Chains A and B, each alone.
Chain A
């Protein structure tokens, strides 16, 4: 049995006018089917590059990215993506926005079945009644919910979330965290979440990957003991506080603000 996502020794550099800029150097990651991994690290350390590698939008210079044991060579329809910018199409209704992937991914669904599927997802994230609205009529949190539905409508195996809640206010964000758990219960997927929010990471994920500063390698792996749905109270337990302390320390190391273990202070 292969893990759903496996990343082995990935190195990648961007070509810039002033020479190659290495962003990833020795990235390792493994995630079983149904798992949820949060990736944290300093700004500009190559987290978004990681999402582009998994989705097949880019190929690494070295190393392998595998889904189901198969090396990713290009985009595949079994991946769903949501970004910080919800990028909804302003000229389509919310329902038609959610249906978009079904117009591209080959499938056997009829038009009515596509709409039913989109309506079901919108209901799941609490957007029933907004199907016929335009994106400009929705709040930021609601747009992000719609964007999540669009990422899931074609039943992807892997859901890639690139800081989807980064631009939202704290309360809306916590609402969406709970929505995420509800969605995952009803629509199983293997998730990779890029985030800057450590609380978000331990609340949503089963596994937190800390990347080092650029060029990024896997610096630290934290297993979150509670998996599956949790409520917000979990963030205020001593266990959560301990995990947050460990992660914060690791981020400081990654930023070069704290010495790594074993080094002289």
Chain B
């Protein structure tokens, strides 16, 4: 079998098998739609609300991506500060861990009250807050575990700290960074949806889910879940593609 074809075929086949099992389980158990929708119930939901799905998916996607980009900038910034300075690491770690330990579902109403009506801003903010922690930690660990010889090689030639950062520290941290990004992507989606579901008059897939709940339209709720999964997979593979481009060197050839 062609290798590239296999790379697409195997996951596609796995997905089809998953949908078939789902359909079979719902059918065998005889569950009604309001208990558990089957994949065959979802198609009519998609067709019926097609335009809503497109606009709402876009809403969710762009706010997640903006939140994620913000998390990359701020997370990398914190990571650099903690990676280069021991004092800052000791000072900031407990704060960040504490902040991260707060369930974001409890922060959502606070943020919603603080910035009433600023729905886009609030959503981006929650997506950012939930996803920046792994990025900050991975960057700081990547920088602080840099072997001293790497630094010495450049320092002995009179290189400045910023040269050392750009030539060595940054590229060496990229594999860890992308590892964290894969975690951050899914977290950011969770953040976006928390806000969309909780805040009244929300937009995005979360709001669509909420309206499905209000109208007891169970197939619509399941359809939203699947749409979220698809968006998550999409963004995840964007990260994988970026990783291949910027940190492909870290991948060992298959044995």
Contact = CB atoms under 8 A, between A and B. Distances in A.
Contacts of A89: 167-168, 171-172
A87 B249 contact: no
Chain A contact residues (Cβ within 8 angstroms of B): what range? 20 to 34
Most chain A CB within 10 A, of B150, B152, B154, is at B152
Contacts, number: 60
B149 A83 contact: yes
Interface string B152-192: 11111111000100011001101000000000000000000
Contacts of B156: 55-57, 75, 79, 81
A35 B205 CA distance: 74
Contacts of A57: 152, 155-156
A172 interface: no
Contacts of B153: 81, 83, 87, 100, 150
Interface in B236-255: 247, 249-250, 252
A81 B152 CA distance: 9
A134 interface: yes
A91 B167 contact: no
B147 A104 contact: no
Contact of B157 (A52, A87, A91, A154): A154
A136 interface: yes
Nearest to B160: A104
B149 A85 contact: yes
A88 to B, nearest CB: 10
A83 B147 CA distance: 12
B252 A136 contact: yes
A87 B147 contact: yes
A91 B158 contact: no
Interface of A: 52, 55-57, 74-77, 79, 81, 83, 85, 87, 89-91, 100-101, 103-105, 134, 136, 150, 154
